[in-house]
Amino acid sequence: MHPFQFAGGAVGLVLLLGLVSGASAGAIGYDVSYVINMDPPSSNGSDIQGTVIFEWDSSGKVKADLAGIILGSGVTTLTHTIDFEPTAALIIGYGLAVATVGDEKDHLYTVTNTSFADSTLGMKWSRAFPGDSPESRVGHNAMIQLLKGATTDTPTPGALDALLDFVATEGFQAAFDPAGDFTVVEWTCNGGVCIPTPTTLALFGLGLAGIGYQRRKQLITA
């Protein structure tokens, strides 16, 4: 499979709205919004931060955008402009540990296609994303450190490149169709084993599936 090929169909309730507009003088870009309703909320009540949106098209062109915070409860809309029409997307972030709440661990969150979410139910992170070898595996905690390094005010050199490499070699299998639906998965840890939390594998959305992509072209002049 091509490393940037969308893997798996998604069924669910979350809506992506896309409008084509001018991203720069004389250019056409895509204003894309991901609407995420965290209901039920994150297990430890923390917001999802260090969030990165990965998007690519059928030719393999890829972009990673820092996306801010997803509220741990309720609705968040992540909106940005991209200079090509994405055919696949993946969103990754983390929630910080809260003392005396749950497993008191930092948690990873992935916004994925529902087929991937279903297939990894009860599967530890290292099995869902095993790498080509143990040396190439990006573990749960290592992924959180990469997200922290890539999204800090003073980025860690190579952190974003490592995230892009992860998406190219493994993460693509979890990608969802940006014109379709997706599932938010919270990976919780127990004794060093991080698995999807069953209660957070529900579909988070606004009940607007099927409206899909809306488009309009607008030429921007300087």
Tell me the domain boundaries of the chain.
Answer: 16-200
- In this predicted structure, what is the pLDDT of residue 179? 80
pLDDT digits (tens, 9 = 90+) for 107-165: 999 999 989 988 988 889 999 999 888 888 899 999 999 999 999 999 999 999 999 99
pLDDT bracket for residue 90 (50, 70, 90): very high
pLDDT digits (tens, 9 = 90+) for 34-72: 888 887 888 888 999 999 999 999 898 899 999 989 999
CB of 52 closer than 8 Å to CB of 92: yes
CB of 88 closer than 8 Å to CB of 112: no
DSSP 8-state code for residue 79: E
- In this predicted structure, what is the pLDDT of residue 182? 85
The Cα-based distances of 179 to 15, 65, 209, 211, 214 in angstroms read 8, 18, 10, 9, 9
- In this predicted structure, what is the pLDDT of residue 209? 28
User: In the predicted model, what is the mean pLDDT of residues 66-85?
Assistant: 88
Cβ atoms < 10 Å from Cβ of 3: 15
Report phi then psi at 88, rounded to 5. Answer: -150, 150
| Among 222, 212, 220, CA closest to 83 | 220
**Is residue 5 predicted with pLDDT exceeding 70?**
no
- In this predicted structure, what is the pLDDT of residue 74? 86
67-81, 98-112, 146-160, 193-207, range with greatest mean pLDDT: 146-160
**Is residue 25 predicted with pLDDT exceeding 70?**
no
Distance (Å, whole) CA 188 – CA 93: 13
Percent of the chain with pLDDT over 90: 37
Distance (Å, whole) CA 151 – CA 59: 27
Beta-carbon contacts of residue 31 (< 8 Å; ≥ 6 apart): 18, 19, 20, 21, 79, 80, 81
Who has greater pLDDT, 213 or 143? Answer: 143
- In this predicted structure, what is the pLDDT of residue 28? 67
User: In the predicted model, what is the mean pLDDT of residues 74-90?
Assistant: 88
User: In the predicted model, what is the mean pLDDT of residues 18-27?
Assistant: 40
H/E run at residue 90: strand 88-95
Task: Outline where 27-182 has alpha helix (H).
Answer: 114-119, 125-128, 140-151, 159-169
Supply 10's token pair.
């998604």
- In this predicted structure, what is the pLDDT of residue 4? 32
